[in-house]
Amino acid sequence: MNARMTIGLTGNIATGKSTVTQMLAGLGATVIDADRVAHEVMEPGTPAHAAVRAAFGATILLPSGHVDRKRLGEIVFSEPDALAQLERIVHPAVVAEVARRIAAAPTCVVVVEAIKLIEAGMAAQYDSLWVTTCSLEQQVQRLMAGRGLSREEALLRVEAQPPQAEKIRQADVVIDTRGTHAETRAQVQAAWEKMGR
């Protein structure tokens, strides 16, 4: 089967998206991290960089001219209107760059990983929607271990996200990462084979 197959991979924070992405890459898929693309489209000299600076002021820039993501995050995550404004600036550039990378991908299967895939209205663009899930307690523990957050900080981040159930409802494939690494891998392998890969 040589036709291009696109997978949109999403899931709430610390539900195992990166782990599943690595497994899919190991099976031969090209992986595009939409979050990384969002950082790249805001590099100095890009239209999005100029628009973000115009919208939020020079105080969100580091001495190098790059966007200070921590400072920008403090602004947009405390003010919903500011977050919506940032997304209006960055989202079209991300969508265009992701589409370009899909077209240029050397493999038959391309995975686009994005935490806001559904919320950004991107899910319908892909042949298959995969969603990772685990327990809330596991999300909290993973954030504490992986990012050095306190329990309170981790809970705030988890609870700020849309309900997992809504993502799962829309999914073509659900990967439950509550078990061992091997159990997760078995689910990924089974879904991969079901696609005829």
Quick: pLDDT tens for 73-111.
888 877 879 988 998 999 999 999 999 999 999 999 999
Q: Provide the pLDDT for residue 197.
A: 67
> Is 60 exceeded by the pLDDT of residue 165?
yes
- Cβ contacts of residue 144 below 8 Å, gap of 6+? 150, 151, 154
- CB-CB contact of 38 with 163 (8 Å): no
Residue type, 13: I
Domains of the chain: 1-29+109-197 (3.40.50.300), 36-106 (3.40.50.300)
- The percent of residues in the chain predicted with pLDDT above 70, rounded, is 98
Give the per-residue pLDDT at 1: 43
Averaged over 118-129, what is the pLDDT? 90
**Which whole-number Å values give the CA distances from 24 to 81, 99, 189, in the listed order?**
36, 19, 8
- pLDDT top residue among 76 and 51: 51
**In angstroms, rounded to a whole number, what is the distance separating the alpha carbons of residues 64 and 48?**
17
* This model's pTM is above 0.85: yes
Residue pair 8/122 in contact (Cβ under 8 Å)? The answer is yes
Residue 149: predicted pLDDT: 85
For the chain, give the secondary structure using H, E and C: CCCCEEEEEECCCCCCHHHHHHHHHHCCCEEEEHHHHHHHCCCCCCHHHHHHHHHHCHHHECCCCCECHHHHHHHHCCCHHHHHHHHHHHHHHHHHHHHHHHHHCCCCEEEEECCCCCCCCCHHHCCEEEEEECCHHHHHHHHHHHHCCCHHHHHHHHHCCCCHHHHHHHCCEEEECCCCHHHHHHHHHHHHHHCCC
